[in-house]
């Protein structure tokens, strides 16, 4: 059985605390002038809310500053140490004095939802319930070494409000810090994306200029390209016939206003004192006798009849 006094420092879970008397269910009339603060809200199993007197908390704060305060029933219910099943559940503090839980209509029940009130019994009697037999009750027996502390001690309403404000303030700090980090992150991402965009645009502009330049070259080459392969066989045949007659024929000195080549005129000069005019034997030639009795030969395509004869000869 637990042997400790309320309102005195004890050690539970390696931590020094003070246990204060708390109440469940309806508050007693003799405490009606006291201000109570809630310690634990109504449980999911129907257990009534647990309250503690703020006057008791103030006294303990003055007597033991800096030590956390927990309610007795808060501590016992958190450790599942409360046994029900009879009209009364007793937690003895001394031989004939202790705390009790009274069930509704003083009937035996094992449901926490049927707890009607709590209080202190003295000399083996419950005030206002003298007909109750304390021998027909469950006695709560706990070992201090096995108890664990609830996550939150008892606070006054003003302390809870201050704690809530501090928690909200801390949350706003966290939210503000997160927003600041998001803003900085967004700026960093935006700067990075802008840098990448500028780099990509510069690369695109360079490639676009190169493509435009290549397109211009393609258009120029397309305008200059030959639609079909040139056929100079006729003109070559004429030149071969001239050289066959005069192997030592030469190309004349070119005047500034005269162009010679496959895309212009074909001109040759026969040797000096040439005995035969080539135009008399080769169709399509135009000759001009020079002072040294050579011939200036302008080579042109043969006449149509001669060309047909040549084509037939080549086919044979």
Domain that holds residue 171: 157-200
**Dihedral, 251, 252, 257, 260 alpha carbons, nearest 10:** -10
Domain stop point among 130, 155, 180? 155
140 and 26: one domain?
Answer: yes
Task: Kindly state whether residues 21 and 142 are assigned to the same domain.
Answer: yes
Is the distance from CB of 277 to CB of 216 less than 8 angstroms? Answer: no
- Are both 138 and 185 inside the same structural domain? no
When pLDDT is averaged across residues 62-73 and rounded to a whole number, the result is 93
Q: Are residues 147 and 32 in the same domain?
A: yes
The pLDDT-based confidence of 58 (bands split at 50, 70, 90) is very high
In a domain, 228, yes or no: no
For 260-283, the pLDDT digits (tens) are 555 557 888 999 988 888 888 888
Torsion angle of the four alpha carbons 96, 98, 101, 107, in this order, in degrees rounded to the nearest 10: 0
d(CA 276, CA 105): 156
Domain contains 205: no
Q: Is 159 helix (H, G, I), strand (E, B) or coil?
A: helix
Q: Both 104 and 138 in a single domain?
A: yes
Cα–Cα distance for residue pair 289/247, rounded to 1 Å: 18
> What pLDDT score does 30 carry?
46
- 308/24 Cα distance (integer angstroms): 132
Residues 97-119 have a mean pLDDT of 89
For residues 162 and 146, membership in a common domain is answered with no
H-helix or E-strand containing 268? strand 266-269
**21, 151: one domain:** yes
Query: What sign results for the dihedral spanned by CA atoms 17, 23, 24, 27?
Result: negative
The closest alpha carbon to 144, from 17, 293, 265, belongs to 17
Count other Cβ atoms within 10 Å, centred on residue 306.
13
Contacts of 109 by beta carbon, 8 Å cutoff, 6+ apart: 84, 85, 87, 103
- Three-state SS at 312: helix
164 and 145 share one domain: no
Q: Is 139 exposed, middle or buried (0-12, 13-18, 19+ CB in 10 A)?
A: middle
**pLDDT digits over 139-187, tens only?**
998 888 889 999 999 998 888 888 788 788 888 888 888 888 888 888 8
pLDDT recorded at residue 171: 85
The answer to whether residues 296 and 288 touch, using CB atoms and an 8 Å cutoff, is yes
Has residue 71 been placed in a domain?
A: yes
pLDDT at 3: 60
Beta carbons of 120 and 100 less than 8 angstroms apart: yes
Give the residue from 121, 155, 189 where a domain finishes: 155
Share of the chain above pLDDT 70, in %: 88
Q: Considering the domain boundaries, does residue 278 fall inside one?
A: yes
Same-domain pairing of 43 and 72:
yes
Q: Looking at residue 69, what is its pLDDT?
A: 94
- 29-56 pLDDT tens trace: 444 567 888 999 998 999 999 999 999 9
In a domain, 219, yes or no: no
Q: Do 67 and 27 fall into the same domain?
A: yes
Tell me, yes or no, whether 32 and 151 share the same domain. Answer: yes
Count of the separate structural domains present in the chain = 3
Say yes or no: 144 and 23 in one domain: yes
Q: Which of 52, 53, 46, 43 is nearest to 104 (CA)?
A: 46
């Amino acid at each position: 059985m637990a042997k400790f006094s309320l309102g005195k420092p004890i050690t539970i879970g390696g931590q020094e605390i003070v246990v204060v008397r708390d109440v469940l269910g309806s508050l007693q009339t003799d405490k009606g002038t006291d201000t109570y603060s809630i310690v634990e809200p109504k449980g999911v199993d129907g257990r009534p809310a647990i309250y503690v007197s703020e006057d008791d908390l103030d006294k303990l704060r003055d007597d033991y500053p800096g030590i956390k305060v927990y309610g007795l029933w808060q501590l016992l219910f958190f450790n599942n140490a409360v046994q029900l099943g009879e009209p009364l559940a007793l937690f003895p503090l001394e031989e004939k004095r202790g705390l009790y839980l009274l069930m509704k209509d003083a009937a035996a029940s094992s449901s926490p939802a049927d707890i009607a009130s709590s209080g202190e019994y003295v000399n083996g009697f419950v005030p206002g319930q003298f007909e109750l037999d304390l021998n027909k009750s469950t006695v709560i027996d706990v070992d201090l070494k096995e108890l664990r502390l609830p996550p939150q001690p008892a606070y006054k309403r003003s302390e809870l409000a201050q704690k809530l404000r501090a928690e909200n303030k801390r949350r706003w700090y966290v939210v503000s810090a997160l927003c600041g980090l998001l803003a900085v992150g967004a700026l960093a991402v935006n700067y990075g994306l802008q840098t990448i965009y500028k780099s990509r645009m510069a690369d695109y502009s360079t490639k676009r200029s190169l493509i435009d330049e290549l397109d211009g070259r393609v258009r120029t080459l397309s305008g200059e390209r030959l639609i079909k392969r040139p056929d100079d066989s006729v003109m070559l045949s004429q030149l071969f016939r001239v050289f066959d007659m005069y192997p030592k024929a030469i190309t004349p000195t070119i005047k500034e206003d005269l162009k010679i080549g496959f895309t212009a005129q074909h001109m040759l000069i026969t040797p000096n004192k040439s005995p035969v005019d080539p135009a008399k034997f080769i169709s399509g030639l135009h000759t001009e006798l020079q002072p040294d009795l050579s011939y200036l030969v302008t080579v042109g395509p043969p006449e149509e009849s001669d060309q047909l004869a040549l084509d037939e000869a080549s086919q044979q």
